[in-house]
A and B are shown apart, each in its own frame.
Chain A
C-alpha cells in the first residue's frame, strides 16, 4: 500500500532563511507520480508540482526547488529566501493504484508540515 511520511510536523524560520520540507514515500508501483500541495489558512489546496518517477532531475521554479531521489524514496521541497507569504501547511502526496483504470487523483497525502515564516 502507498504511504507518505512527512516527519516534520511544524517548522519555524525567520524570513529570508532557506527551509527544506522532507517527504518519504512507499509504493509498490514501478512508475508513479508525486505531488506537493500548499494549504494556506484559507483552506484551499494549491498545486505546486507534479513529478513523474521517470524523471529524477531536480526541478526549480523561482524560489522553490524539489529534490527527487528514487534510491531513498524521497521527494524533498526547498524554499529559498523564505517569505511570510510562504506560511502554510505543505503536503506531499502519492496517487493510489486504482482499479477504475486510467489513473485518478485518488491521492494518499502525508500529514503535512506547517511552515511559519517569522518576519
Chain B
C-alpha cells in the first residue's frame, strides 16, 4: 500500500450532470476526510468518517453532495446536478489511531473537477 489513492484524477463534466469520486485510504487507517480546494485557496474541510460513520459535515456540503464509506474502507463522494462553482480539486486524506492528532494524516493527489 503506497498511500491514499483517488480516482479519477481529472473529471470534466457538463453542468447539471452527476459525478462520483472514489478514495481508497491507507488500509489500516480508520479515519477518512474529504476536502475541497479552489484555485488560490487552501483546502476546505467537507466531511469526516470514522470507520463507516460520518461524524462531521461542513456547511459547505450542500444537499447536492453526499459521501459514503459503506464498509469502513473506501469512500465515495457524489455531486448531483453539478454547477460551475463545484469546479475544484477534491482531496481525500486518511489517518489512524485513537489520539488522532498525534498521528500524521496522508493526503491523496486529488480529483480535479471541471464543470463546463
Contacts and interface: CB of A to CB of B under 8 A. Distances in A.
A107 B104 contact: no
Most interface-central of A45, A102, A105, A112 (chain B CB within 10 A): A105
B50 A100 contact: yes
Interface residues of B, number: 28
Contacts of B101: 33, 50, 95, 103-105
Interface in B8-59: 31, 33, 40-45, 48, 50, 55-56
Interface residues of A, number: 28
Interface in B59-103: 89, 91, 93, 95, 98-101
Interface in A22-56: 33, 37, 42-47, 50
Interface of A: 4, 33, 37, 42-47, 50, 91, 93, 95-96, 98-100, 102-112
28 contacts: A4-B42, A33-B101, A37-B107, A43-B112, A44-B108, A44-B109, A45-B43, A91-B43, A95-B101, A96-B45, A98-B48, A100-B50, A103-B100, A104-B31, A104-B33, A104-B48, A104-B101, A105-B31, A105-B33, A105-B48, A105-B93, A106-B33, A106-B56, A107-B45, A109-B43, A111-B40, A111-B41, A112-B40
Given A44-B110, A93-B42, 11 more contacts: A43-B89, A45-B93, A46-B107, A95-B101, A98-B55, A99-B56, A104-B101, A105-B100, A105-B101, A110-B42, A111-B41
